[in-house]
Structures are given as structure tokens and as C-alpha cells.
Amino acid sequence: MRTPPKLHWKVSRLSKSTKVSQYLKEEKGFSSRLIKRIKQEGAVYGNGKQMALYHHLTGGETLSVILPLSSFPEDIPVWHKKVPICWEDDHLLLVNKPAGVPMFPGRGLEAQTLAGAIKSYYERSSLSASFHAVSRLDKQTSGLVTIAKHAYAHQRLSQFFQEGRGHKRYIGITEGIWEKKRGRIEAPIGRKPDSLIEHQVDLKGKYALTEYQVLEEQEGYSYVQFELLTGRTHQIRVHSAYCGHPLLGDDLYGGNSAEMSRQALHAYELQFCHPVTETWHTVQAELPVDMRRG
């Protein structure tokens, strides 16, 4: 039997009586759409007794919200592949995605995707959860991917990242030695004309900001930590190439693919404020073998 996701909070002291729906929206960040779905398919309990969304809270109640049942997209083929799990609870799943694995089926309807592997994991574990990718990686980029198990966790964590309540850090191997060992790359990014894939620095593009720090230098290459402060397509790849230091193996943006068959980029650390408990967590994903040089 499938079990719907549940949320629990202790309502703090309120300055005035507040409707449950208003509390969920203003204090817990529920969207109007999700509140409507809870009214139709979920339930709310205060101190163990079911209550309507128009019921008033006075403060001190133990509030429980039963969310609508989550479902996994049916058109995603199951892939019986075990992906390393870095962190998990009832609301979130953080995994270490291998390079070469796409997030979702594409036009060719790939049978081997991260979504398919997670679908298999849910089935093996008898989990009634969905697949909401809070963070996404290119097929050839390895590292941490954050998956929300239900709509509220996805909505809330995405909002936290937009508010700066989170940090996404990557390690890349770039060509050449950076003159300035730490800095910010602030350059707008847009799609390259006549290309469906490639992007470029473009004054008419979207604002993009990346912070970087050189960690190590060896034999004409640099290990660099990148932190995304915006989330543009191919942002690190474009910004790194723009600075004259393309990622090793990234032939799309001028990198040398003779020594490495994919772009040397790994999402290695995530610091985030939990969407339900609002506690801070730091999760890391081990650097893959193909990026360990020397």
C-alpha cells in the first residue's frame, strides 16, 4: 500500500489567530496550487485531529500535513543500476551521478538514465516518492544531484536556492595556469546563434556570475573550485573558456579531448537549508577516478 508523504511542525506563538491555509502559505511557503491539491487529495491535522484549511490556528499546535500521493513519471524506463547515495531522508535524496549518464530520456528515449535508476531504487525500497530534480547536470558532468521526493520539498528548496540559502560547488580541471588564483567571473550567457547546444558570453544574454578558486596546479593544468551564484546552461564551461582556460576534455568549448573523453567537471559539494526542518547540511560527492590526476 502506498503511503503519502507527511510533514510535521510545531506552530510557534502567533500574534493573531491565523487560518491554516494562510499559515501554510505565509510561514511555510506553500504555493496556492499545492494548497488546493491538499484540500482535494490530502489532509491537515492539528494536535492529532483533522481540521479544515479554513480552521484558525492560535499557536502552539502540532500541525501535520498529509500531502497528495506522489507519482513517478510512467514514461521513464526502469534502469537496474545502483547509483551511490550521498544523503537521504523522507524528503530529499542526494546521489553521485556518474559521468555519461543523462538525467532524463531524450529524443532517443534512452533506456539508461538517472531517473530510471532512481525509479528502480524506489521500487526496490518500496518508496512512494516522485522525482523532482532540484539540480541538474549535463550528461558528461559527474557529481551531486538533488532529488526532491515530493512537490513541497521541490518548491521550497528551489525557493531557498533562489534566495541564496544554499551553495553549489564544483571541481574542474582546466587547461593552463590562472594568473589570478581567486576571483569572480561576471559575464552574461546566451545561446550561440545557429546552435541547439552551444552557449557563449553574450551581452544580450542572461546575467551569470561564477566564483572560482585555484586549488592546485600541475603540468599545465589547474584544479579549480567553482561556485555557481546563478544557474545558466553550461555556465562553468562557458565562463572557464571565456577566461582562456577551457575544461580539460570539453571539445565543445575548446578543451583538449585527447587526454580525457568528457569535460572534467564534478559537482562535489552542496550546502543547503533543508526545505522542511530548515536545518543546514553539507554533503559531498567523491571525485571520480578519471579526474584524479597524480
CATH fold, domain 167-267, is Pseudouridine synthase (3.30.2350)
Q: Are 121 and 73 in contact (CB under 8 A)?
A: no
pLDDT band at 108 (very low <50, low <70, confident <90, very high): low
The Cα 213–Cα 180 span in angstroms is: 9
Whole-model pTM? 0.91
The Cα 176–Cα 181 span in angstroms is: 12
Which cell goes with 73?
Answer: 513519471
Q: Where in the chain is the domain with CATH 3.30.2350.10?
A: 167-267
pLDDT in tens, 158-217: 999 989 899 999 999 999 999 999 999 999 999 999 999 999 999 999 999 999 999 999
Please count the residues of the chain.
294
Q: Where in the chain is the domain with CATH 3.10.290.10?
A: 6-66
CATH fold, domain 6-66, is 3.10.290
3-state DSSP call for residue 230? coil
Set 75, 89, 90, 138: catalytic member: 138
Look-up: residue for cell 499546535?
A: 61
The Cα 73–Cα 130 span in angstroms is: 8
Q: Is the dihedral of CA 275, 277, 282, 287 positive or negative?
A: negative
The Cα 214–Cα 194 span in angstroms is: 34
- Assess whether 138 carries a catalytic annotation: yes
The Cα 129–Cα 79 span in angstroms is: 17
pLDDT in tens, 64-105: 999 988 777 788 899 999 999 999 999 999 999 999 999 998
pLDDT in tens, 24-46: 999 999 999 999 999 999 999 99
